[in-house]
C-alpha cells in the first residue's frame, strides 16, 4: 500500500510490515508499547528503552551513522526514521533500497499524528488511538506555571547550546508555563556565549540529561553567568524530547519539575 509520511513523501509499504527497523529511540519505545515485539528486528545503539529490546534486538549502529550492512542483512520491509535524529543523506540513501517512513515532530499534535500513522501502518490502529486518548487526558491535567517563568533549556556544553523555537522541547516548555527566552534566536539549537547567557538573565535554567549528560558540577560552572536567584535544575531530557509513548508520563514529570503538583 501507499502511505504519506510526515515529510509528505509517498512510501510503498506492505499491508502488514513484518520486518521493521527503528532508527529513532523514542519511536522504538512506542513500537514496543504497540506490541510489535515480533515485527521489530533492528534498533539503534541509542534505543535503550525498553530494556529487554535493547538486550535482545539487533543493533544497527547509531542514529546518525547506522551500519548499512547490518540493515541489509535484516532485509527490512519498513524502516522508520526522523528528520532531526537521522541525517538527510543517510535517509535518502536508505530510500533507494528500502521503504523508509520519516517522522517530523515539533509539536504535540504532530506527535499524536505520528502515533496514529504508525498504528495504522502496523495494524495497531485501535491501540494507537487508545494511547493517544490517554496522552491527551494526561496533558489536559497539566497545570502550567502561573505566572510564566523565563527559561533556558540547555542540551549541550562546549559550546553551550539551548533548545530554540521550532523544537519539540520548546512546545513542552510552553505547555509547562515556561517562556523560552532563546525562542527568537535563529536555528533550532542556537549556541550561547557566557555573555549572552548573562544578558538573557533567565529565572530558570534546565540542564538536560541528553544529548549532553549535564551534572551538578555543570550547574556550578554556569552559576557565575546567571542571576543570583536563578533556579537551576537537572532534568530527564527524555520527557522533554521523546515524542512517543513516553508522553504518557511526561505531564506528571513536568508537574514535579515545575512544582505545580
The CATH class that applies to domain 2-105 reads alpha beta
Contact 50, 32 (CB under 8 A): yes
> What's the pLDDT score for residue 99?
97
Give dist(CA 103, CA 23) in Å, integer.
11
Give dist(CA 186, CA 176) in Å, integer.
23
> What's the pLDDT score for residue 131?
98
CATH topology (fold) of 149-258: Rossmann fold (3.40.50)
Give dist(CA 225, CA 206) in Å, integer.
14
Give dist(CA 251, CA 171) in Å, integer.
13
Domain with CATH 3.40.50.1980 in the chain: 2-105, 149-258
The x, y and z cell numbers of residue 189, run together, are 539549537
> DSSP strand E in 19-169: where?
20-22, 40-43, 58-59, 78-82, 100-103, 149-156, 160-162
Contacts 24+ apart (CB under 8 A), 84-88: 84/188, 85/23, 85/24, 85/25, 86/23, 86/24
The per-residue pLDDT for range 148-198, each reduced to its tens digit, is: 999 999 999 999 999 999 999 999 999 999 999 999 999 999 999 999 999
3-state DSSP assignment of residue 102: strand
The per-residue pLDDT for range 210-242, each reduced to its tens digit, is: 999 999 999 999 999 999 999 999 999 999 999
Say which residues have a Cβ less than 8 Å from residue 48's Cβ, sequence separation at least 6: 25, 54
The x, y and z cell numbers of residue 141, run together, are 491535567
The per-residue pLDDT for range 50-89, each reduced to its tens digit, is: 999 999 999 999 999 999 999 999 999 999 999 999 999 9
Q: Give the predicted TM-score (pTM) of the model.
A: 0.95
> What's the pLDDT score for residue 126?
98
3-state DSSP assignment of residue 211: coil
Q: What's the pLDDT band for 259 if we cut at 50, 70, 90?
A: confident
Amino acid at each position: 500500500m501507499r502511505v504519506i509520511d510526515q515529510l509528505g513523501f509517498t512510501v510503498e509499504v506492505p499491508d502488514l510490515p513484518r520486518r521493521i527497523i527503528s532508527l529513532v529511540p523514542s519511536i522504538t519505545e512506542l513500537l514496543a508499547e504497540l506490541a510489535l515485539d515480533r515485527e521489530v528486528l533492528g534498533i539503534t545503539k541509542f534505543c535503550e528503552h525498553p530494556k529487554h529490546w535493547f538486550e535482545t534486538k539487533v543493533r544497527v549502529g547509531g542514529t546518525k551513522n547506522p551500519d548499512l550492512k547490518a540493515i541489509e542483512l535484516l532485509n527490512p520491509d519498513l524502516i522508520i526514521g526522523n528528520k532531526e535524529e537521522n541525517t538527510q543523506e543517510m535517509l535518502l540513501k536508505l530510500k533507494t533500497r528500502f521503504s523508509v517512513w520519516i517522522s517530523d515532530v515539533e509539536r504535540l499534535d504532530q506527535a499524536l499524528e505520528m502515533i496514529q500513522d504508525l498504528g495504522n501502518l502496523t495494524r495497531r490502529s485501535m491501540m494507537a488511538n487508545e494511547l493517544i486518548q490517554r496522552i491527551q487526558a494526561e496533558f489536559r491535567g497539566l497545570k502550567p506555571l502561573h505566572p510564566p517563568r523565563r527559561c533556558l533549556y540547555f542540551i549541550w556544553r562546549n559550546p553551550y547550546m539551548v533548545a530554540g523555537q521550532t523544537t519539540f522541547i520548546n512546545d513542552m516548555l510552553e505547555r509547562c508555563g515556561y517562556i523560552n527566552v532563546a525562542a527568537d534566536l535563529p536555528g533550532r539549537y542556537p549556541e550561547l556565549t557566557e555573555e549572552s547567557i548573562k544578558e538573557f538573565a533567565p529565572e530558570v535554567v534546565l540542564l538536560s540529561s541528553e544529548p549532553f549528560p549535564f551534572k551538578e558540577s555543570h550547574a556550578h560552572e554556569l552559576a557565575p553567568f546567571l542571576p543570583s536567584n536563578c533556579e537551576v535544575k537537572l532534568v530527564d531530557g527524555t520527557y522533554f524530547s521523546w515524542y512517543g509513548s513516553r508522553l504518557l508520563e511526561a505531564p506528571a514529570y513536568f508537574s514535579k519539575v515545575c512544582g505545580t503538583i
